[in-house]
Amino acid sequence: MNFTKVFSRTLATSPERQQEADNDFDVVKRVQAGEVAAFDILMRKYRERLFGVVYNLTSNREDTADLTQDAFIKAFQAINRFQGQSSFFTWLYKIAVNTTLSHLRKNKMRTFFSLEKIQEEDPGSKILSELTDKTGSGRDTYLKELQEKLNEAMQKLSIKHRMVITLFEIDGLSHSDIAEVMECSEGTVRSRLHYAKQFLQGELNKYLR
């Protein structure tokens, strides 16, 4: 799979990201040399991003916690095989996505939501004011309902469609990156994205203006 190439190319486009990748590789070398505690640096750095990716695919915080931990453990066990051909986050991301997909395939029939609270104090919470002009408890109720419906609609999508919409709309990957990640053509990605958006629009029509 060209997953690593995709991410290395994506990250390599930005010099900051390249610098970040190099720094990560230095830490990885320390872990490979036997400094186990150095792995904590990597874990603390990437745990939230990794958690976000897994959470958006599962919509279950308990499962997400377990799967993220499993991904870190797998990465830790296999870190001696990491040779720096891609960025560490790319490699870690690949492990997490594969672990999540395997979990989702095993538990196809089980859809149990356990959602995280929306962090309103976040600087990006201007999104919330875009979504509603309500205030007080009415606003909270509305946001909670919207969150539930959104996650419900996401889980109604197939794994492939969910993955496309997560990678594109939430993680911000490009079409070509997603195409390489999912081993399909860009056209297929666009088509899946279009279908997924249409489906979500149909499901969430009530909340669109």
Partner 1 sequence: MPQSNPQSKVTIETLLRLKRLERPSPEFWTQFEAELREKQLAALVQRRTWWQKLPHLLPRRAFLPIGAAAVLTFTLVSVRVYGPSEIVQSDAEFSAHESRSVAPVNISSSVAASAPVVAEARPEIVATPEEIPEPAAAVRYSEQLPKQVRELLSWSAPRVEDSPSARSIAANLARLEETEPELVNSLLAGHGQSHERSVQIGAATAMEMVAVSAVGSRRNRLLAHLSERQFSPDPSAPEVVRERLTRRLGDTDSSSEWTRVGLKADRVSLKF
CA 89 to chain centre: 12
One residue of 32, 114, 160, 169 binding partner 1 per CB under 8 A:
169
Q: Which stretch binds partner 1 (CB under 8 A): 24-32, 95-103, 123-131, 173-181?
A: 123-131
Determine the residue type at 144. Answer: K
Which listed residue (127, 144, 158, 183) binds partner 1 by CB under 8 A?
127
Tokens representing residue 163 in the block: 């993955």
The binder of partner 1 chosen from 30, 45, 61, 175 (CB under 8 A): 61
Which of 122, 140, 148, 183 binds partner 1 (CB under 8 A)? It is 122
State which of positions 95-114 bind partner 1 (CB under 8 A): none
* Contact (CB, 8 A) for 55 and 40: no
Min dist CB 62 to partner 1, Å, is: 11
- 144: contact with partner 1 by CB under 8 A: no
User: How far, in Å, CA of 109 to CA of 207, rounded?
Assistant: 27
**Binds partner 1 (CB under 8 A): choice among 55, 82, 89, 93:** 55
Q: What contacts 24+ positions apart, CB below 8 Å, involve 54-57?
A: 54/96, 54/99, 54/100, 55/116, 56/154, 56/166, 56/170, 56/171, 57/97, 57/100, 57/101, 57/104, 57/159, 57/162, 57/163, 57/166
At its nearest, how many Å lie between partner 1 and the CB of residue 168?
9
The residue written with tokens 């860009």 in the block is 186
195 binds partner 1 (CB under 8 A): no
Q: Which of 110, 133, 136, 137 touches partner 1 (CB under 8 A)?
A: 133
Could you tell me if 15 and 26 are in contact, meaning their C-beta atoms sit under 8 angstroms apart? no
Taking CB under 8 A as the criterion, the residue among 35, 48, 140, 183 binding partner 1 is 48
Quick one: DSSP state of residue 121? T
- Is 34 among the residues that bind partner 1 (CB under 8 A)? no
What is the secondary structure of 177-209 as a DSSP string? HHHHHTTS-HHHHHHHHHHHHHHHHHHTGGG--
| Residue ranges that bind partner 1, judged by CB under 8 A | 36, 39, 43-44, 47-48, 51-52, 55-56, 61, 65, 68-70, 72-73, 76-77, 81, 115-120, 122, 124-125, 127-128, 130-134, 142-143, 146-147, 150-151, 154, 165, 169-170, 197, 200-201, 204, 206-209
